[in-house]
Amino acid sequence: MRTIVWFIYFWGFLLVKWPAMNKGLKALEAGDWETADRLAARYVPQWANRLLKLAGVTVTVEGKENIPAGRACVFAGNHRSYYDIPLMLTQLDAPHGLVAKKEIAGLPLVRGWMRLLHCVFLDREDPRKAMAALNEAIENLKKGYSIAIFPEGTRNKGEEGTLQEFKGGAFRIATKAKAPVVPVAITGSRDIMENNHMWMHPAHVTIRILPPIETEGLTREEIKALPERTAEAIRQNLLPQQQGG
């Protein structure tokens, strides 16, 4: 029943708020980013927070003080669950755009709100389009819009506390824009749904926002090592949760 109610709310909210979304998209097209940003900041967390509550999710967040004040940054998180998206939208300092796979751009209503958040859609099968998406993310960072990305590229279905290889795209975005990378360690999100055969169950999630890694002035070798450096910072903040049960 919880799962059914969740899906009804998921689409119901988007339908009810369609006029607000449409207003925001028109504002965006007219160059009125302030109106578009205000609507996204109001309604996206409202929607995502309610999704978490309906699923019975509780969250502990540590390290918000590590988010650079007044600076755009790249939030790089491990990816365990579809729920990592609403968690990222609600548990940081504000909702930020995501680097998302192109398939999500095909979801009606969802894609409109994602445009208002300045999300970019990555086509991994087309290198030219993928590069265009990364360049768009770089430009957004330069305009002051932080972005969130999952460098593993897909959900990790392994044991809690493990990571897949971090891909370099997130870090090219940060280094080109000279923006700090903020590692985000998420533990427990897979218990909400994926570990229950895709049925939603109450679960507790811990999010640790780690000290930022500055990218300006890094040597070529340091840039090359940045994905693993970020992954290691996250890994060290997942294993204690696993060991503690």
Query: For residue range 179-191, what is the model confidence (pLDDT) as tens digits?
Result: 999 999 999 999 9
Residue 242, pLDDT above cutoff 60: no
- Nearest one of 148, 231, 136 to 177, comparing CA atoms: 136
Return the minimum-mean-pLDDT range out of 106-110, 140-144, 240-244.
240-244
Q: What is the mean pLDDT of residues 118-127?
A: 88
pLDDT the model gives residue 103: 86
For residues 126 and 146, give the distance between their C-alpha atoms in angstroms, rounded to a whole number: 25
Give the containing element (helix H, strand E) for 114. helix 110-116
For residues 142 and 119, give the distance between their C-alpha atoms in angstroms, rounded to a whole number: 14
Using a 10 angstrom Cβ sphere, with 0-12 exposed, 13-18 middle and 19 or more buried, the burial of residue 205 is buried
DSSP codes of every residue in 38-89: HHHHHHHHHHHHHHHHHTTEEEEEE-GGGSPTT---EEEE----TTHHHHHH
* b/e sequence 148-173, b meaning 16+ C-beta within 10 Å: bbbbbbebbeeebbebbebbebbbbb
Contact between 209 and 66 under an 8 Å Cβ cutoff? The reply is yes
CA distances from 61 to 90, 177, 216 (A): 11, 27, 28
For residues 205 and 82, give the distance between their C-alpha atoms in angstroms, rounded to a whole number: 13
Contact between 230 and 76 under an 8 Å Cβ cutoff? The reply is yes
pLDDT the model gives residue 243: 41
pLDDT the model gives residue 239: 59
pLDDT the model gives residue 91: 97
pLDDT digits (tens, 9 = 90+) for 191-225: 999 999 999 999 999 999 999 999 999 999 999 99
SS3 13: helix
What integer best gives the mean pLDDT of the chain? 93
- Quickly list H helices, 124-238: 127-142, 169-177, 220-236
pLDDT the model gives residue 105: 82
CA distances from 156 to 78, 163, 165, 190 (A): 8, 7, 10, 9
Q: What is the mean pLDDT of residues 115-121?
A: 94
Work out the pLDDT band at 241, boundaries 50, 70, 90.
very low
Which residues, 6 or more positions from 131, have their beta carbon under 8 angstroms from its beta carbon?
Answer: none
pLDDT digits (tens, 9 = 90+) for 30-72: 999 999 999 999 999 999 999 999 999 999 999 999 999 999 9
DSSP bridge pairs for 187: 206
Q: What is the mean pLDDT of residues 226-236?
A: 96
For residues 235 and 191, give the distance between their C-alpha atoms in angstroms, rounded to a whole number: 18
* Fold of domain 57-244: Glycerol-3-phosphate (1)-acyltransferase (3.40.1130)
User: Which tokens hold the place of 39?
Assistant: 């609507």
In this prediction, what percent of the chain has a pLDDT beyond 90? 84
pLDDT the model gives residue 191: 95
